[in-house]
């Protein structure tokens, strides 16, 4: 087999560099798309993922009062963080009897594992999963992998407590950068090793 001459090697190098640059551009563009929210449908439970600000629980309460589900699971319920506390849920009009407390989750992946385990124990078949708009794509990835088609899940995005979309926030660049590396960690399955905490 003939050796490649210098000209051919250079062409292959240029083509390789162009492909890498094109792939990089596609990856960056895709990283700004965090997924479309689903239309809410009636469900057995609303699963509110802890983290971010009060917007997530506000959205869960809105869905609860609109009659989409009789229960709100807070994952994790924590009195340390008001935005995911029983006190704030009560303030928003969610009564104690409607709150299901999941208290052990430390990341999006463990949110999925533990909340779906609770759904199975409680005999639930479907859920509305509520999280921030910037967090929706990664949550869908984690829950769909853990779920493996056992339950019908609908994903609903919450805005910030001030009604802002993620790119309208003053710290939007930080949100993008943080979610970018976490999303790739999840795609590569590193959540099983690192747990990638969300705080």
pTM of the shown model: 0.82
**The CATH number of 45-161+171-194 is which of 1.20.210.10, 3.40.50.2300, 3.40.718.10, 3.40.50.620?**
3.40.50.620
Model confidence at 51: pLDDT above 50:
yes
Q: Rounded to an integer, what distance in angstroms lies between the CA atom of residue 158 and that of residue 56?
A: 5
Q: At what angle do helices 136-147 and 172-187 cross, to 10 degrees?
A: 20
Q: How does the average pLDDT of the chain come out, rounded? A: 88
pLDDT tens digit string along 95-151?
Answer: 999 999 999 999 999 999 999 999 999 999 999 999 999 999 999 999 999 999 999
pLDDT tens digit string along 165-193?
Answer: 988 999 999 988 888 888 888 888 887 66
Taking Cα atoms as reference points, which of 156, 161, 160 lies closest to residue 143? 156
The residues spanned by each domain of the chain are 45-161+171-194
Q: Rounded to an integer, what distance in angstroms lies between the CA atom of residue 63 and that of residue 46?
A: 8
Model confidence at 50: pLDDT above 90:
yes
pLDDT given at position 198: 62
């Amino acid at each position: 087999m003939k050796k490649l001459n210098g000209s051919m090697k250079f062409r292959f190098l240029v083509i390789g560099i162009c492909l890498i640059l094109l792939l990089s551009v596609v990856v960056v563009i895709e990283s700004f798309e965090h997924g479309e929210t689903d239309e809410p449908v009636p469900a057995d439970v609303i699963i509110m993922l802890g983290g971010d600000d009060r917007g997530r629980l506000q959205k869960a309460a809105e869905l609860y009062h609109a009659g989409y589900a009789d229960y709100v699971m807070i994952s994790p319920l924590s009195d340390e963080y008001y935005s995911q506390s029983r006190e704030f849920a009560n303030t928003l009009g969610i009564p104690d009897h409607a709150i299901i407390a999941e208290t052990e989750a430390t990341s999006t992946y463990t949110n999925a594992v533990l909340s779906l385990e609770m759904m199975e124990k409680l005999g639930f078949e479907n859920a509305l999963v509520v999280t921030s708009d910037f967090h929706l794509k990664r949550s869908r990835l984690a829950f769909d992998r853990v779920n493996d088609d056992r339950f019908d899940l609908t994903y609903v995005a919450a805005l910030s407590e001030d009604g802002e979309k993620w790119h309208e926030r003053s710290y939007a660049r930080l949100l993008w950068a943080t979610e970018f590396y976490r999303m790739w960690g999840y795609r590569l399955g590193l959540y099983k090793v690192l747990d990638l905490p969300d705080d």
